[in-house]
Amino acid sequence: MSLRPTLDFLLYQWLGVESLTSRERFADHSRDTFDAVLDTCERIARDKYAPFNRLVDTQEPHFDGDKVILPQATHDAQKAYADSGMLSAAQDYAIGGMQLPYTLEASGNAFFAMASVSIGSGMLTTGNANLLMQHGTEAQKRVFALNEFSGRWSGTMCLSEPQAGSSLSDVMTRAVPDGDGFETDPLGPRYRLTGNKMWISAGEHELTENIVHLVLAKIPDDNGKLVPGTRGISLFVVPKKLVDVNGQLTGERNDVALAGLNHKCGWRGTTNTLLNFGEGKFPVKGQAGAVGYLVGQPGKGLHCMFHMMNEARIGVGMAATMLGLAGYHASLEYAKNRPQGRAVGPAGKDASAPQIRIIEHADVKRMLLAQKAYCEGALALELYCARLVDEQHTGTPEAADEARLLLEVLTPIAKSWPSEWCLEANSLAIQVHGGYGYTRDFPVEQYWRDNRLNMIHEGTHGIQATDLLGRKVLMDNGRGLQLLAARINDTVQRGIQQPALAAHANALAAALQRVGAATKAAWATGNPAEALANAVPYMQAFGHTVMAWIWLDVALAALNHDAAQTQPTTLGRLAATRYFFHYELPKIAGWLPVVESRDATCAELPEAAF
């Protein structure tokens, strides 16, 4: 089973991405060039990624005392990826990019995430370089970003510390000016950093000539104290190996040392590291302290980092989606071939009849359709968000602003909904396999382990929920929420015209109204502690409403394309829509009452009672 027909339908029939080629930035592109990119990604993912997914899981990265060792397959896959030009797919021609819409870049990357998410396809490197293109100096762009886009160097994102994960305001890494003339370094104001960064993905390896760390740290005030809160956080570019202004290695190692590798539940093909900055293991000019160059303004580090984090969150949602789809495809294949049990007729079972394949049991069909509804729905949502990114970058000022606000509201859902529900899909994929699914002889347990990360990193589930209810639905006096409601209502109006979809459209309208009322009720006392105590159930209901909208909209496109419903793919899309409206959307009635009543069952329970 291939991802491609689903992707093609969503891109061309549903989102109409071909129309982007009428915009100046994409004028050289056509359906042919888009297809060629997808073909290339599909081929590399099939040849260089998929065959090694289990290998990178079993041959975890290890440290030989000098270097971190990864399987040769990882080197080969990442080289093939870099050679394909995908690291700079969306960049300008002038710097070697393809000026591809982000929607196409994200679609191409989907193949790699599905084939082997943990071999990695450069999401961090691209995000790191994009951030520098946005906030860096000309020299930082030329030296660091361009060498990342070419694949010569790779990038990381160093936010977390052992004591500061969700609460980044508590980071303790310090950055002090590096001697006289520190401000005039051609690579940016030069500082010395000291501190520990925990959980840093791809923080140490030999896959590339150099590693470009983007590090959050605080510049102490005149009394040597760190400014509390996020206001005090600045951003620094800290190369593993020092470089000159021409982008050549100076031959000197920077004072960034691997303190240890983390041994993970899944996603084992990517190193995950504890890094010590400035402990003196690799003194620079005889002095401890990692050399870092300020990016943007002092105290604005988190603002710059958010640029990277929003992209990263769509990337995380896409990765969760693709792992879900990988499990769906594997379990569908298994269910078509596994004979077990007999059909139940009006007179019960006939023990003398031959066994049937498990795909013929209603409950197995339920588990397969649930996976399809979760994962293909999530794919549509991620592509919708990617299309908004293109609108934000290339639309009219009005459309761009609307896309920006919609993205603000949808990003927590794009990150969290697939992390929760495509993980549930992976659990169902194991269930479809029965006992075999619980062994390492089949791939589905690995998909589940790999996917379990996604509710944790890039802002945990709880933090995303707080962001949604505490900030995003309120910002600009609720304008983002109103814009989303207008789009949902537009789909509802079109849905009502279609007899096959009218009941779903009415159910969606009611759900939207209920979510709106719950938002108001949560904030009725204006007390954040009360409003946010049930932010996760709120986000679940919000997410399910968004997904119901996405499915209704996809179903409308499917009918538009094939009104007679002659194609099995159309029947499948309509069935997934129906599944979502019959089995999933009603769940919001279970989630929202605690939000509406600001239920304090959990919040007020004293510790001793646990």
Ligand X SMILES: Cc1cc2nc3c(=O)[nH]c(=O)nc-3n(C[C@H](O)[C@H](O)[C@H](O)COP(=O)(O)OP(=O)(O)OC[C@H]3O[C@@H](n4cnc5c(N)ncnc54)[C@H](O)[C@@H]3O)c2cc1C
201 touches ligand X by CB under 6 A: yes
Nearer to ligand X, 445 or 458 (CB): 458
- Cα dihedral 418, 422, 424, 427 in deg (nearest 10): -150
Least distance between ligand X and beta carbon 200 (Å):
5
Window contacting ligand X (CB under 6 A); options: 16-24, 73-81, 199-207, 547-555: 199-207
Nearer to ligand X, 406 or 453 (CB): 453
CB of 157 to ligand X, least distance (A): 5
- Considering the rule CB under 6 A, would residue 194 count as an interface residue with ligand X? no
CA angle 559, 562, 564 (to 5 degrees): 95
Smallest separation, CB 167 to ligand X (Å): 6
Q: Does 226 bind ligand X (CB under 6 A)?
A: no
CB of 536 to ligand X, least distance (A): 9
Cβ-contact 168, 319 below 8 angstroms: no
Please state the closest distance from residue 396 (CB atom) to ligand X, in A. 36
Label the pairing between strands 249-253 and 241-243: antiparallel
Could you say whether residue 236 binds ligand X (CB under 6 A)? no
**Would you say 267 or 328 has its CB closer to ligand X?**
267
Annotated catalytic residue, options 42, 420, 458, 584? 458
Q: Give the separation between CA 350 and CA 481, rounded to whole angstroms.
A: 55
**At its nearest, how many Å lie between ligand X and the CB of residue 267?**
6
In the complex with ligand X, the residue whose CB is nearer, 132 or 159, is 159
409 counts as binding ligand X under rule CB under 6 A: no
Give the nearest distance from C-beta 459 to ligand X in angstroms: 6
Residues 266-285 that bind ligand X (CB under 6 A): 267, 272
Q: Please pick, from the candidates 177, 298, 341, 462, the single residue that binds ligand X as defined by CB under 6 A.
A: 462
User: 492-531 mask for ligand X (x: CB under 6 A)?
Assistant: ----------------------------------------
Q: Is 259 in the site for ligand X (CB under 6 A)?
A: no
Please say which residue, 41 or 314, places its beta carbon nearer to ligand X: 314
Smallest distance, ligand X to C-beta of residue 156, A: 6
Which helix (DSSP H) or strand (DSSP E) does residue 155 occupy? Answer: strand 153-158
Separation in Å, CA 435 to CA 196, 356, 441, 444, 447: 42, 18, 11, 11, 16
* Piece in contact with ligand X (CB under 6 A), picked from 172-180, 183-191, 329-337, 455-463: 455-463
Q: Report the alpha-carbon distance of residue 2 to residue 117 in Å, rounded.
A: 17
Q: How far is the CB of 461 from ligand X (least distance, A)?
A: 6
Which of 20, 68, 114, 158 forms a contact with ligand X (CB under 6 A)? 158
Choices 86-94, 452-460, 509-517, 581-589 (CB under 6 A): range interacting with ligand X:
452-460
The first and second tokens of residue 459, run together, are 């802002």
Instruction: For residue 454, give the nearest of 330, 324, 356 by alpha carbon.
Output: 324
* Residue 166 touching ligand X (CB under 6 A): yes
CB-nearer residue toward ligand X: 460 or 482: 460
As a whole number of angstroms, the distance between CA 351 and CA 590 comes to: 41
For the chain, the straight-line distance linking the first and the last C-alpha, in angstroms and rounded, comes to 47
Stretch that binds ligand X, among 44-52, 157-165, 399-407, 565-573 (CB under 6 A): 157-165
CA-CA distance, 472 to 482, in Å (whole number)? 11
Smallest distance from ligand X to CB 458, Å = 6
* Residue whose CB is less far from ligand X, 507 or 533: 533
For ligand X, the nearest residue by Cβ is: 165
Residue 457 found at the interface with ligand X (CB under 6 A) = yes
The answer to whether residue 449 forms part of the interface with ligand X (CB under 6 A) is: no
Nearest to 377 by CA among 117, 108, 579: 579
If DSSP states are collapsed to H, E and C, what string results for 485-532? HHHHHHHHHHHHCCCCCHHHHHHHHHHHHHHHHHHHHHCCCCCHHHHH
Rule CB under 6 A: which of 20-49 touch ligand X? Answer: none
| Cβ-proximal residues to 371 (8 Å cutoff; 6+ apart), any chain | 324, 327, 328, 331, 332, 425, 428, 429
User: Do residues 182 and 191 touch, judged by C-beta distance below 8 A?
Assistant: yes
Contact residue for ligand X among 86, 159, 373, 468 (CB under 6 A): 159
In the complex with ligand X, the residue whose CB is nearer, 169 or 482, is 169
Q: Are 141 and 161 in contact (CB under 8 A)?
A: no
Residues 97-156 binding ligand X (CB under 6 A) are 156
174 bridge partner residues: 194, 218
Three-class SS string for 277-319? ECCCCCCECCECCEEEEEECCCCCHHHHHHHHHHHHHHHHHHH
| Contact status: 264 vs ligand X (CB under 6 A) | yes
376 belongs to the catalytic site: no
- When the beta carbons of 308 and 444 are compared against ligand X, the nearer one is 308
What does the per-residue mask of binding to ligand X show for 466-485, with x meaning CB under 6 A?
Answer: x-------------------
Rounded CA-CA distance 213/240 in Å is: 7
Q: Pick from 21, 431, 460, 498 the residue near ligand X by CB under 6 A.
A: 460
Q: Cβ atoms within 10 A of the Cβ of 562, count?
A: 16
Q: Which of 453, 492, 518, 522 binds ligand X (CB under 6 A)?
A: 453
What single DSSP character describes residue 357? B
User: Residues 293, 132, 118, 79: is their CA dihedral positive or negative?
Assistant: negative
Give the DSSP per-residue string, 230-262: GGGEEEEEEESEEE-TTS-EEEEEPSEEEEEE-
Q: How far apart are CA 552 and CA 537, in angstroms?
A: 23
Alpha-carbon distance of 6 to 105, in angstroms, equals 16
Q: Does the protein bind ligand X through residue 200 (CB under 6 A)?
A: yes
Query: In the bound complex, what is the minimum distance in angstroms from residue 169's beta carbon to ligand X?
Result: 11
Among 463, 474, 500, 510, binds ligand X (CB under 6 A): 463
Count of residues binding ligand X (CB under 6 A)? 21
Task: Using CB under 6 A, list all residues that contact ligand X.
Answer: 156-160, 165-166, 199-201, 264, 267, 272, 453, 456-458, 460, 462-463, 466
User: Where in the sequence numbering do the catalytic residues fall?
Assistant: 458
